[in-house]
Each structure stands twice: as structure tokens, then as C-alpha cells.
Amino acid sequence: MNSLANNPDELSRRRFLASAGILTAGIILSPWEVLAQGGSPVTTIIAEAAKSPITIQKLKTGFNVLEGSGGNILVFNGPEGKMMVDAGIDVSKAKIKQALASISPKHVEHLISTHWHFDHASGNNWVHETGANIISQAITKKHLSQSVRVVDWNYTFPPAPAGALPTTLFEKDYAMNMNGETLRLQHYGPAHTDCDIFVHFENADVIHVADTFWNGYYPFIDYSTGGSIKGMLKAAIANVNRVSASTIVVPGHGPVGNKAQLIEFRDMLAAITHNVETLKKQGKSLAETVAAKPTKAFDAKWNNFVIKSDLFTYLVYRGV
């Protein structure tokens, strides 16, 4: 495997898996275990989306969230048409189309991509084909245009089709009006990836914070495209500072939430970062740090989804 020798990240991950004994997988395979066996959670997540129904949750007049195809999709509807924030996974196309039609007959005029990941942007192409203009931070387009290997998913994404690429790009901030709303889009800087943005509908006070917030779950952090735990923490702090007690907060993953839950998430990230950093500074190896269970106090609440505590510890360890 020449590619391993040329890829220190992948080599160190596999050495860790072997040294930590995780290569002997349990009966129910977590993505971590799937990875250890040379598979990829991406394949599993796509297969789950293909089976999953799309549920529609109404937040307030004009605002609905679609769940069941990777990341949460926010749909904003009004007399000028629809806007989607993220497009989910392309295997859900028929079901998402049906959900959109059940909200109103209006077309999707704009699609905002919160970042480049497949579980938020692989539906871009078909949404564009229905006539939508795609808006994103500039780096999202760069990643979608190229082949990208995400080491911690053990997966190489091919370049997206031309129609999936955003055509309205911004660096730091973008503002627009639609259906009587004022929208503010802003780049976080490096966080979960290097191209994450929030989309804040300021009058309705609804915000989609992309994958900088996983409500009730340990988050994935994509070091392959510029994410880091320190950046995640910075974004979590920025989210808490931006919202009020009445803001409706749409996370990348997990149920729609509020400021109190953003605070819990920020505090969880801060505490685990501190715990892992302390162990690393004491000279503990990755395997020793995982064995010390630095997430233990938080597992009952957060260890319930794709990113399990051992994998999350590894993701934090990399960045402290």
C-alpha cells in the first residue's frame, strides 16, 4: 500500500487502531470499527439515507426543516420562491422533491451550501437542474471542484459535476433579501472544515449553523480540509455570542435547538479539549489518551451517533 506510506495521517491512524486493539471489531459496527476494517462510514451513511424517509418539521411560518438525508436541510418559502440551506445526499432526490412540493408549489430559487461535505452538498446538482442558483463561501467551490481524500472517513470524493458547483461566492460575509427577509451569511474561518458558514434569517431569527453544531452528538472534525478542534471551539463560542434566547438554531445534525443547547455543546467541547490537552501534555500517546476516557463525564449525553467517544477523542487529540 504505497498510498499509506505517502500519507502520514493515514499511517498514524492505522497504527493507532492496531495499538488500541480496535481492529477486533464488535458485533454492531460503529463507523470507527468500519474504518478499522478498511471500510468507510460514507458508504454506510449513503445507504442509510437511501432507506430513510424525509420528515418535515415546521419551525414557524415560511420555515421548515427536512431531516433524513445526511445534514439538516432548512427550507425557506415565500412569494418569491423557495430557498434551501443545504441539499442533503443525492440518493434522497425523489423524497426531497416530494417534501418540497408538499410545502408549496414554488420553485427553489436559491440553494446555499453551508460547506462542501457530501451529506450537505451531494444533492446540489439536481437542485441546480431545477433552476436554483447556488451560493457558498469560495473554498466550498474549490473542494467540490477537485478530488478530495478525507483520511478519517477513509474515502476519496471525486470532483462534483459542474452543475453542483456554487456560482455566487463570497469570502467573509454575504447579505441578501428574499421574501421580505434579511439574510446574513458569514464564514466562521477554519472550524469543522475550512469553509463553514452560518445563514441567519434575521427578522424571523432562525439560524442554520452548519456542522459547527451537532445537537446531542459528538461532532466530526474534518482535518483533511482545514478543520480543527480549536476552530470548532471558536465557532461554538461565536454561535453562543450571536444568538438570543429566542433564536431557533438549526444544527448540521441532530434536532433543532436553542441557545441553551449551543452553550452545552460549547462547554462539552471546551471540557474535553482541556482533558485531552492535559493528557497529551503529560506525554500520553493517543492510545493511552483514549484508554484514559477523557470524554467519560459527557458520554451519556453525547455518545449517541456516528462519532463515538473514542473517535472523538482521536479527533481532539490531533488538534491540541
- Note the residues at the interface with Zn ion (CB under 5 A): 117, 211
Q: Which amino acid is at 66?
A: L
Q: How far is the CB of 298 from Zn ion (least distance, A)?
A: 21
Q: What is the helix, strand, coil percentage profile of the chain, to 5?
A: 45, 20, 35
- Residue closer to Zn ion, measured from CB, 211 or 310: 211
- Residue closer to Zn ion, measured from CB, 212 or 275: 212
Q: Is residue 174 within a helix (H) or strand (E), and if so which, with residue range?
A: strand 173-178
Cα dihedral sign for 87, 92, 97, 98?
negative
Q: How far is the CB of 196 from Zn ion (least distance, A)?
A: 8
- Residue closer to Zn ion, measured from CB, 73 or 279: 73
Q: Which residues contact 88 (CB under 8 A, 6 or more apart)?
A: 49, 66, 68, 69, 70, 71, 73, 96, 119, 120, 122, 123
CA distance 290 to 306: 17
Listed residue (232, 225, 226, 229) closest to 211, CA to CA? 232
Q: How many helices (H) and strands (E) does the chain have?
A: 13, 14
- Residue closer to Zn ion, measured from CB, 211 or 277: 211
The answer to whether the CB of 63 falls within 8 A of the CB of 200 is: no
- Residue closer to Zn ion, measured from CB, 126 or 214: 214
Q: How far is the CB of 64 from Zn ion (least distance, A)?
A: 21
Q: Is residue 41 within a helix (H) or strand (E), and if so which, with residue range?
A: helix 41-51
Q: How far is the CB of 252 from Zn ion (least distance, A)?
A: 6
Q: How far is the CB of 227 from Zn ion (least distance, A)?
A: 9
- Residue closer to Zn ion, measured from CB, 222 or 310: 222
Q: How far is the CB of 128 from Zn ion (least distance, A)?
A: 20
- Residue closer to Zn ion, measured from CB, 33 or 119: 119
Q: How far is CA 187 from CA 7, 125, 139, 306, in A?
A: 29, 23, 10, 25
Residue 292 buriedness (CB in 10 A; 0-12 / 13-18 / 19+): middle
Q: What are the φ/ψ torsions at residue 42 (nearest 5 degrees)? A: -60, -45
Sheet strands side by side (includes 81-85):
55-60, 63-67, 73-78, 81-85, 108-112, 133-137, 168-170
- Residue closer to Zn ion, measured from CB, 48 or 109: 48
Q: How far is the CB of 245 from Zn ion (least distance, A)?
A: 27
Q: Is residue 248 within a helix (H) or strand (E), and if so which, with residue range?
A: strand 248-250
CA distance 74 to 64: 6
- Residue closer to Zn ion, measured from CB, 22 or 221: 221
